[in-house]
Amino acid sequence: MTPDKYLGALRAYWKEHRSFPSMAKLAKVLGLASSGGVFKALGRLVDAGYLERVAGGRIAPTNKFFALPLLGTVRAGLPQPADQDEGFELVNIDDYLVDHPERTSFCRIKGDSMRDAGLLDGDMVVVEANSPTKSGDIVVAVVDNQVTVKYLRTDRSKRWRLEPANPAYDVISPTGSLEVLGVVVGSFRRFDRR
């Protein structure tokens, strides 16, 4: 197994168990016959920054362990020549989408009122709480005791309102209370391949 395959085997094990195998099981997971081979493979992954040694001689994943290769930029229009010289870069989804983990959460979109903003039914949005808000932000808000995701806007009288991104839906003007739970700072979706 190459170092990339060792890393792949450990990532697959982590995905299933949310932990690393014991030293006794590592040889089997990595496809190695001896403990010497295990220590050498782990040493390479530590040197490359994917793993770190922690208290008690155990190993733990680093942020780089969870990062995945970025294949580069690809046009959505006309095809482009493949660029083999593009640098190798790793991207961790948390690093890309989450600036403040202590106040970030996810919400799943239900419905199509924000479709023209690119937020579709089933998408996950990244919501940052305690962020300054301004007119034009997409927010998750509690309006009159109901939760929704909409554009935050002001009307001519400078009163806050919530606008959908689909003309089939009406603007929501609070009759009682409006509380912004957080600003939407990103989104992602998974395509069903079944």
**Domain limit, last residue, from 41, 66, 91:** 66
Residue 59 lies in a domain: yes
User: Quick one: 106 and 183 in the same domain?
Assistant: yes
Residue 42 lies in a domain: yes
User: Quick one: 108 and 60 in the same domain?
Assistant: no
pLDDT computed for residue 83 by the predictor: 66
Count the domains in the chain: 2
In the residue annotation, 5 being an active-site residue is answered as: no
Give per-residue pLDDT as tens, 14-37.
Answer: 999 988 888 778 888 998 888 888
Residue 28 lies in a domain: yes
User: Quick one: 108 and 182 in the same domain?
Assistant: yes
Residue 71 lies in a domain: no
Closest CA to 189 of 127, 125, 137: 125
pLDDT computed for residue 183 by the predictor: 97
Q: What CATH number is associated with residue 174?
A: 2.10.109.10
pLDDT computed for residue 86 by the predictor: 56
In the residue annotation, 173 being an active-site residue is answered as: no
Residue 85 lies in a domain: no
The arithmetic mean of pLDDT across residues 72-86, rounded, is 73
* Residue of 113, 135, 157, 177 marked catalytic: 113
Residue 170 lies in a domain: yes
Q: Are 141 and 151 in contact (CB under 8 A)?
A: no
The arithmetic mean of pLDDT across residues 48-65, rounded, is 88
Mean pLDDT, the chain, rounded, equals 89
User: Quick one: 60 and 115 in the same domain?
Assistant: no
* Residue of 150, 157, 173, 177 marked catalytic: 150
pLDDT computed for residue 33 by the predictor: 84
Domain ranges, residue 112: 101-188
Residue 134 lies in a domain: yes
CA distances from 1 to 38, 117, 150 (A): 11, 45, 50
User: Quick one: 110 and 172 in the same domain?
Assistant: yes
pLDDT computed for residue 81 by the predictor: 76
Whether pTM exceeds 0.85: no
Q: Which pLDDT band holds residue 96 (cuts at 50, 70, 90)?
A: confident
**Lowest-confidence region among 46-50, 136-140, 189-193:** 189-193
Q: How far apart are the C-alpha atoms of 8 and 61, rounded to whole Å? A: 13
pLDDT computed for residue 3 by the predictor: 63
Q: How many CA atoms lie within 13 A of 179 on its CB side?
A: 9
Give per-residue pLDDT as tens, 122-162.
Answer: 999 999 999 889 999 999 999 999 999 999 999 888 899 99
Q: Which pLDDT band holds residue 84 (cuts at 50, 70, 90)?
A: low
Greater model confidence, 83 or 17: 17
Q: What share of the chain is helix, strand, coil (3-state, %, to 5)?
A: 30, 25, 45
